[in-house]
């Protein structure tokens, strides 16, 4: 069976407002980093000809958001396609391109500057239907608050357990040079931080962030030209739940369980607890970390809070990057999850490098309250 290699990854350091750079400059930094690592070119005969970009029209305030990016993606006179969902799907698409034989190397790059919108909530309000959802004022924050309350009631999640998630995230973020927010916090600070949208508090939520990420993927044979230490992308799965919130169980994990099932099957994994020793979840809000870990199969249904108390995240090296709570843009959050896993499996994570990691799971989500989930498996 064909295998798909991640040859290199590059990340732009996330910041709350990268006012001094345009999107293009951020992406150029990422591209030049990838080229320096691998010698990749866009040469007519032997270079990379296929590019998958990842961005969002609303956050970019630009119809066809990849329009102004082609030069710094190497896509001028080349084949370029955009993934407008969360970035982890761009990697899945690139994987499919290589497995199909359409191309033997694909460059993937994503960007987002949340800082330039007046309100992240105004942007995500547009995800809802114009006749009912939008006039009601639904957005990803207040819908997450509805889910947070439903999940807390189901799992008996406590304020202390939520605070532990945030405190641990900041501790790991302090070791990650790409993280946005690294200020250390105490349990009490988190528990009594101002209410953002009940029951979500300010320190439960991911900060506004700008960033960009790039990957070079290749077939097993082509990868030999770029790296001696490839990381293999062995599984991918996604699933979308019902669009209307009232048609879903807010405390359930339907889409995530299906996505994980598909990714694990593709990777040949029968017991994820025995196979994986590295996990990156897209925890935009603190309650999502234990909830998504349940959906991925690392703890029993409704037992996410107990998993936190039992140091489950430490056992499986969960979010050593600091996760979304340390600050990544929503649109490319999945790419930052995958980038961390690739660095860890290559042994290049620096101060927060884990020991003896061999298999990692990346999870991402988009749509209010986890409507759409994506899971990818990576192996050294």
Indicate if the pLDDT at residue 379 is higher than 80: yes
Pairing mode, strands 4-11 and 231-240: antiparallel
In this structure, of 59-68, 187-196, 264-273, the range with the lowest mean pLDDT score is 59-68
Per-residue pLDDT, averaged over 340-349, amounts to 98
Buried b / exposed e over 344-354, threshold 16 CB at 10 Å, is bbbeebeebee
- In the beta sheet, which residues pair with residue 110? 54, 213
Rounded average pLDDT over 210-227: 98
Residue for token pair 């990381």: 231
Total count of residues recorded for the chain: 380
Rounded to 10°, the helix 88-99/333-346 angle is: 60
> Cα separations (Å) of 47 from 30, 143, 222, 225, 232?
17, 45, 11, 11, 21
Q: Round to whole Å and give the CA distance between 13 and 209.
A: 10
Residue 367, sorted as left (phi over 0), alpha (psi -120 to 50) or beta, turns out to be left
- Percent of the chain past pLDDT 90, that is, above it, reads 93
- Measured N-to-C along each axis, helices 159-173 and 288-296 cross at an angle, to the nearest 10 degrees, of 90
* pLDDT of the residue at 126: 96
User: What does pTM read for this prediction?
Assistant: 0.97
Query: Of residues 45 and 268, which shows the higher confidence score?
Result: 268
Res 97: pLDDT? 98
Domains defined along the chain, listed by start: 4-118+208-223 (3.40.47.10)
User: What is the tens place of the pLDDT at every residue in 57-80?
Assistant: 999 998 899 988 888 888 777 899
Q: How confident is the model at residue 188 (pLDDT cuts 50, 70, 90)?
A: very high
Share of the chain above pLDDT 70, in %: 100
pLDDT of residue 76: 76
- pLDDT of residue 1 exceeding 80: no
pLDDT of residue 219: 98
The confidence score (pLDDT) of residue 45 equals: 87
């Amino acid at each position: 069976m064909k295998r798909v290699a991640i040859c290199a990854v590059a990340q732009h350091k996330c910041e709350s407002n990268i006012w001094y750079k345009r999107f293009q400059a951020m992406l150029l930094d990422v591209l030049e980093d990838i080229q320096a690592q691998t010698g990749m070119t866009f040469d007519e005969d032997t270079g990379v000809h296929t590019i998958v970009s990842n961005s969002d029209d609303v956050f970019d305030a630009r119809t066809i958001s990849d329009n102004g990016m082609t030069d710094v993606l190497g896509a001028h006179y080349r084949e370029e396609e955009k993934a407008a969902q969360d970035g982890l799907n761009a990697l899945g698409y690139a994987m499919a391109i290589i497995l199909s034989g359409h191309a033997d190397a694909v460059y993937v790059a994503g960007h987002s500057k949340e800082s330039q919108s007046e309100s992240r909530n105004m942007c995500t309000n547009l995800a809802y239907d114009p006749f009912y959802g939008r006039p009601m004022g639904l957005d990803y924050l207040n819908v997450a608050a509805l889910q947070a309350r439903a999940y807390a009631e189901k799992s008996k999640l406590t304020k202390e357990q939520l605070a532990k998630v945030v405190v641990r995230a900041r501790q790991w973020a302090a070791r990650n040079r790409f993280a946005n927010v690294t200020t250390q916090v105490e349990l009490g600070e988190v528990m009594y931080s101002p209410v953002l949208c009940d029951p979500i508090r300010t320190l439960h939520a991911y900060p506004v962030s700008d960033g960009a990420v790039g990957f070079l993927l290749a077939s097993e044979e082509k990868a030999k030209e770029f790296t001696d230490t490839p990381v293999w992308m062995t599984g991918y799965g996604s699933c979308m739940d019902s669009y209307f919130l009232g048609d879903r169980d807010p405390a359930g994990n339907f889409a995530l369980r299906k996505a994980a099932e598909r990714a694990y099957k593709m990777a040949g994994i029968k017991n994820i607890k025995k196979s994986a020793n590295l996990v990156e979840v897209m925890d935009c809000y603190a309650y999502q970390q234990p909830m998504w870990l349940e959906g991925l199969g690392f703890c029993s249904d409704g037992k996410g809070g107990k998993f936190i108390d039992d140091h489950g995240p430490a056992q499986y090296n969960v979010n050593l990057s600091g996760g979304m709570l340390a600050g990544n843009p929503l649109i490319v959050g999945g790419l930052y999850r995958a980038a961390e896993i690739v660095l860890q499996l290559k042994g290049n994570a620096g101060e927060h490098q884990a020991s003896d990691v061999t298999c990692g799971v990346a999870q991402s989500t988009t749509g209010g309250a986890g409507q759409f989930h994506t899971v990818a498996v990576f192996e050294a």
